[in-house]
Structure 1
């Protein structure tokens, strides 16, 4: 069975891979036939750089972790899912006995096994075996494409939860990529009256403006802090979500923040950044950090089903599985206006 394999930095192959024959279905596992897999920025970074931080690709690895599919086999003790159920999957499996997991912080369990994070293989392959506990049945009105967006959406919902959004808050999202836009949608769903979104890509900002009460700011053309202060009568926003992963954006998070405001760092910083403690102190800013998500997948599925959040406009391009290598080449080129690219698996 073919899989999309990262052989080494900048070298992908669509080839037979033996993992399919090694995965037995345990008593509380299900086997899932993949339908749709999203291309994440981390997948692209592994492709272009061969690793990130402590996670380095040292052997061929299957990519992909944003996924939906159909249950084709169930373990003897599975009670909530059956063959034929449409599902999405939370890609991280923690150690149930770890201290982090036992206190509810399973996403920061050092032993978590996360798809497409070395040395764990991802899901750009025909089937995968996964625990029932991290596999979620889809309502009839949630498509496979939307379901494959639950994983990035979970980051935004987790961030909005960490920010403790209050009804009527104003927020700024720095970065209009997939994570920035799902964070903006999550902030609005959580109660924000308006969200400002900043970026340098006019096409992405134009898309952002169509998603709800969102004010786009092109930071290549105007000063972000000045624009926020003008729009808020000099007060600032209650929440700043840093989603760009860009050092300049991260270093300026306190400038548009109101007194007593909250900052949530989401975008990964490759290098150390300048952090202005004085600006944080005079505002008594509260600062949070996000690493993936925890306890939010069912909430995300419910919001997609109810219409509280609509991710369909964020899906800007689809590729067939046989074009996976080309899909990653396109994604790595970072074309303007593209938000989420997805790969459709053979059915």
Structure 2
């Protein structure tokens, strides 16, 4: 079968790889139909590693996916050949302590698509556990189904923040995850949501979403803008989704007394933490690593129309164009939110 393969750092090819074969007990064979490019995919191509995860042998790319069931393995109920599905890419050890506690996303044994040494799903076929496969509602396209993966990150972040009706929420970073987190916060009842970035193009996209107040960091300071508009109180929930080290210069001043600050973006270095500032506000700091048990909520929010995923899909390409499309993704064009591949 054909796949997009990272041979080594800065060497991407489209070539034949071994077929995954028939599904085993509790598994499904699935033909991916839409696969998105994530920032982590680009990072592996450019750097060959993310922290301790190092590309030491060829790896199939891709972890944001939807597709069609082509074969049902033994012991699987509720799925039939031809079903449209979305696939959660992390497969934990369901007997581990982390899984038993409901935190399977931090299970040390989790196998996550396109994270060395695990192959991803940017290929003609995958075999995947039925327990981590979800029916894709008719209201959602395959492209929207692939976006459920970053959407699950956003849902997890908003849940960690404990957003309540009427809350003021501040989101740092207007990339895909930041914008989705802002939309999920609105769908969760937030009264007003601020979202900051240095990119005018991304802020223009944010400004088209009702309820979002864009903050241009080239002209405004996030904490001051929110303080001015909340009578000096601040944001009830702060979500850092940029991963930019510079975002931390102002981050701890954005929240109101008793706020919850959620760290989603992964900085590529050390960041400043003002402990006294946190203590004086009794800020609760939460962290996010992927998601756990959030796909069903993400699907419901998207299928019900409370979060519209269509505007997040910038452009779709055939798999054969993978090398040039990954090059474009590496350019980080301001108007690009999500680049996807359509597979047949």
TM-score (norm: length of structure 1) = 0.97
Show CA shifts across 1:142-196 (max 9, x none): 1111100000000000011111111100111100111111111111111111110
Q: How far does the alpha carbon of each residue in 1:244-277 deviate from its partner, in whole angstroms, 9 at most, with x for none?
A: 1011113422111111111000001111111000
> Runs of 5+ in structure 2 lacking a partner?
none
Aligned mates of 1:56, 1:133 — CA distance in 2:
28
| In 1, Cα distance between equivalents of 2:334 and 2:116 | 29
Distance 2:44 2:288 in 1: 20
- In 1: Cα distance, 2:235 partner to 2:132 partner: 36
Match of 2:178 among 180, 185, 193: 180
The 5 A counterparts of 1:278-293 are 278-293=276-291
C-alpha contact (below 8 Å) 2:22/2:71 kept by paired residues: no
What is the match of residue 16 of structure 2? 16
Structure 1 segments unaligned to the other structure (5+ residues) = none
- Measured after TM superposition, the shift of residue 314 of structure 1 is 1.1
Tell me the distance in 2 between the aligned counterparts of 1:138 and 1:302: 10
**CA apart distance, 1:318:** 1.4
Residues 320-342 of structure 1: per-residue CA shift (max 9 Å, x gap): 11111111000001112111111
Partner of 2:136: 138
**Displacement after TM superposition at 1:212 (Å):** 2.2
CA distance in 1: counterparts of 2:66 and 2:24, whole angstroms: 20
Show the 5 A alignment for 1:256-295.
256-295=254-293
**Residue range with higher mean Cα deviation, 111-120 or 196-205:** 196-205
Q: Say whether 1:231 aligns with 2:229.
A: yes
Whether the 8 Å contact between 1:157 and 1:296 is mirrored in structure 2 is yes
Contact 2:169 2:192 in 1 (8 A): yes
Match of 2:2 in 1: 2
1:329 match: 327
> What is the rounded CA distance, in whole Å, between the counterparts of 1:13 and 1:253 in structure 2?
40
Give distance in 2, aligned partners of 1:86 and 1:344. 14
Task: Find the partner of 2:308 among 306, 310, 317.
Answer: 310
2:251 aligned counterpart, secondary structure: coil
Q: Which moved more, 1:137-146 or 1:279-288?
A: 137-146
1:338 aligns with 2:333: no
Other structure's SS at 1:206 match: helix
Aligned with 1:130: secondary structure? strand
How far, CA to CA, are the matches of 2:54 and 2:21 in structure 1?
24
Question: Displacement of 1:222 after TM fit?
Answer: 1.9
What is the alpha-carbon distance in structure 2 between the residues aligned to residue 195 and residue 341 of structure 1?
26
Q: Secondary structure at the match of 1:229?
A: helix
Deviation at 1:24, TM superposition (A): 3.4
Matched residue, 2:96: 98
Give the 5 Å matches for 1:137-216.
137-216=135-214
Once the two structures are TM-superposed, the CA of residue 9 in structure 1 deviates from its matched residue by: 1.2
Q: Residue in 2 aligned with 1:243?
A: 241
- Tell me what 1:218 maps to: 216
**What is the number of equivalent residue pairs in this alignment?**
344
Distance 1:338 1:49 in 2: 21
RMSD: 0.9
- DSSP 3-state at the match of 2:181: helix
Q: Deviations over 1:114-140 (max 9, x none)?
A: 000000000110010000100001111
109-118 vs 295-304, greater mean Cα deviation:
295-304
Instruction: Give how far 1:86 is off.
Output: 0.1
